[in-house]
């Protein structure tokens, strides 16, 4: 049971608050819209394409919002596994040249039903030691519903200094996950949908991949944390109830994964809202695990 004030106020931004702070020099708004498009290949196999949404940003965005492409600006282009977080030097350059620095409060938004691209930036910032980051609750869809201002104007901020200070506990390698299997202090959470967890459907990359999930992983699809009627993150008590029923103890070290380490960040963000302190993203996720034939896979009996 969490004690003390809810972390919600420092993790979520309300549209009314953001509207009042769009011109605040200490605030940087970041448009993180993007897509994961899938094509069925038959026999349960899928191939996915990762894409940004630069054209959508150019058409309209929240005033003073900076655009970051989740598939280009915050990833490592040289990593063998797709969309791994950018190395520190690249991350610092990409943020700094857009005017995002150490002292800024960063508010990320997207248009995904589970905010997974906004939470991906939140997680990457936490991994690099930047604690002043929020996600716009309800994203751009809520902003539009409330009739708030949109623009085509692209802001130009002076370059800033972003200093990455990697926090290793926030990111796990596949080898670390392998070593954690069976550890009673670690809870592995699969943020994919039920079909992928059970192996009915699975993603392939360059023709390779496997069905199933990491042995011992709990299933908690990211969509469960969002109120479908409002598109907002569920209240604290509802989140805590969801996590308790899923079998996630408050003090456990949680390692979340999905296909590319993106949907997993929605689950990690929800856990942070509920006060869970030990949160880790398996960045390689099934894009890596499914390719490593020597690593174990679990399927329903």
The model's pLDDT over 156-199, given as tens digits with 9 standing for 90+, comes to 999 999 999 999 999 999 999 999 999 999 999 999 999 999 99
Predicted TM-score (pTM) of the model is 0.97
Residues 6+ apart with CB under 8 A from 148: 15, 19, 62
pLDDT, residue 1, reads 47
pLDDT, tens digit, 9 for 90 and up, residues 211-245: 999 999 999 999 999 999 999 999 999 999 999 99
Record the tokens describing residue 78, joined without a space.
């040289």
State percent of the chain over pLDDT 70.
99
User: Which CATH number is associated with domain 8-167?
Assistant: 3.40.250.10
Report pLDDT for 2: 52
Return the DSSP state at 75.
B
**Residues 6 or more apart in contact with residue 229 via CB below 8 angstroms:** none
Tokens representing 148 are 């708030």
State yes or no: pLDDT of 207 exceeds 80: no
Decide the pairing of beta strands 45-52 and 34-42. antiparallel
Alpha-carbon distance of 58 to 72, in angstroms, equals 17
For domain 169-289, the CATH superfamily is: Rhodanese-like domain (3.40.250.10)
Domains 8-167 and 169-289 share a fold: yes
Domain assignments of the chain as residue spans, ordered by start: 8-167, 169-289
Structure tokens at 45: 């196999």
């Amino acid at each position: 049971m969490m004690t003390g004030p809810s972390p919600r106020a420092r993790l979520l931004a309300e549209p009314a608050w953001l509207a009042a702070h769009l011109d605040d020099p200490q605030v940087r708004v970041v448009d993180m819209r993007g897509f994961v498009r899938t094509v069925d290949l038959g026999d349960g196999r899928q191939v996915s394409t990762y894409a940004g949404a630069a054209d959508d940003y150019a058409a309209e965005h929240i005033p003073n919002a900076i655009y970051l492409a989740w598939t280009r600006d915050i990833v490592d282009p040289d990593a063998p596994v797709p969309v791994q977080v950018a190395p520190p030097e690249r991350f610092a350059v990409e943020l700094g040249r857009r005017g995002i620095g150490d002292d800024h409060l960063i508010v990320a938004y997207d248009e995904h039903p589970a905010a997974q691209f906004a939470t991906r930036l939140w997680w990457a910032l936490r991994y690099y030691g930047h604690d002043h980051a929020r996600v716009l609750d309800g994203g751009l869809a809520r902003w539009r519903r409330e009739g708030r201002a949109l623009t085509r104007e692209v802001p130009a901020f002076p370059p800033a200094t972003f200093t990455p200070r990697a926090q290793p506990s926030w990111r796990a390698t596949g080898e670390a996950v392998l070593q954690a299997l069976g550890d009673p202090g670690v809870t592995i959470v699969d943020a994919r949908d039920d079909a992928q967890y059970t192996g009915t459907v699975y993603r392939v990359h360059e023709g390779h991949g496997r069905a199933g999930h990491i042995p011992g992983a709990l299933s908690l699809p990211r969509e469960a944390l969002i109120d479908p009627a409002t598109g907002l993150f569920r209240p604290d008590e509802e989140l805590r109830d969801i996590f308790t029923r899923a079998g996630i103890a408050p003090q456990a070290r949680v390692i979340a994964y999905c296909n590319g380490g993106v949907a997993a960040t929605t689950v990690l963000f929800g856990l942070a809202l509920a006060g869970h302190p030990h949160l880790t993203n398996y960045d390689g996720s099934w894009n890596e695990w499914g390719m490593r034939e020597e690593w174990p896979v679990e399927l329903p009996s």
